[in-house]
Amino acid sequence: MALAAEPLARTLGSTKGSFYWHFKDVPALHDAVLKDWQSRALSEIATALSENGAAEQRLRTFGKRLLKDTQDPAFRGWAQTSPAVAAVVSDVDAERLTYMASLLAHLGVGNPEFAQSCLAAIIGLPQLQGKAKPAEAYDTMVDLVLALK
């Protein structure tokens, strides 16, 4: 993640001194940004766990919520160059997989690779260029998974 104090402060219409008032240094900013994303991602899972409704609809809704997270691809890109970020993304993905696998199990799909495939689709679909609509493609994948159970 290419962030520096002076350009960031200038973009925000602030001073470099103001930046250092809030953060010890740029790595502290990186840490705060990462912790914020992790907190929001885990909160999304907690929210999903607290919801009622049919497992199929919850699976579709959860996937569509993740597809709307425009920051997720950026953190995945950052994870390619930062072991600390990679560890956080991996932890979030493990929680997401656990939740998705439990929903699929409620639907009679016990194979854990189906949950991995669903999460992989969520991660990859936004990267495709063209006329594809990620939410519709995800729904089609869920339809396929359920048809194969």
Predicted confidence (pLDDT) per residue in 103-130, tens digit: 999 999 988 899 999 999 999 998 887 7
Cα 15 to Cα 27: distance, rounded to the nearest angstrom: 18
Is the pLDDT reported for residue 68 higher than 60?
A: yes
Q: In this structure, which long-range contacts are made by residues 133-141, counting pairs with CB atoms below 8 Å and at least 24 apart in sequence? A: 134/67, 135/63, 135/64, 135/67, 138/60, 138/63, 138/64, 138/67, 139/60, 141/117
The whole-number pLDDT of residue 2 equals: 54
Rounded alpha-carbon distances, angstroms, from residue 127 to 67, 81, 87, 130: 11, 19, 21, 10
| pLDDT (average), residues 60-83 | 94
At 75, the amino acid letter reads: F
Predicted TM-score (pTM) of this structure = 0.85
Q: How far apart are the C-alpha atoms of 149 and 143, rounded to whole Å?
A: 10
φ, ψ for residue 2, nearest 5 deg: -90, 85
pLDDT (average), residues 69-97: 95
